[in-house]
Amino acid sequence: MPINPIVGRCSPVRPDVHIRLIDGVVEGTAFLSKRFTGPPGFCHGGIGAMLAVEASAELAPYQRLVERNPRRG
């Protein structure tokens, strides 16, 4: 999505993040400038959480859902 705040190309506030799916594995890189800092040496927790959501959203369409029958017997 071009307006996504984390990976959207049109978002002026996005960090430099590149996420891709290769052979069923999500890979990515991120460069976080000072505006995304949290505790010394770490990114802000909210940014880390948004990156995790984006990575799992990238993989979601490729997951197979297993439907289980709740009734037994």
**What confidence score (pLDDT) does residue 70 get?**
53
Indicate the pTM of the whole model: 0.67
Residue 43 included in any domain? yes
Structure tokens at 17: 């993040």
Residue 53 included in any domain? yes
Q: Is 35 helix (H, G, I), strand (E, B) or coil?
A: helix
Ramachandran quadrant class, 10 (left: phi over 0; alpha: psi -120 to 50; beta: rest): alpha
Residue 48 included in any domain? yes
Element (H, E) at 22: strand 16-22
Given pLDDT bands bounded at 50, 70 and 90, which one contains residue 6? confident
Domain count, the chain: 1
**Choice between 72 and 48, residue whose per-residue pLDDT is larger:** 48
- By residue range, what is the domain housing residue 28? 16-62
Structure tokens at 24: 């069923």
Element (H, E) at 46: helix 45-59
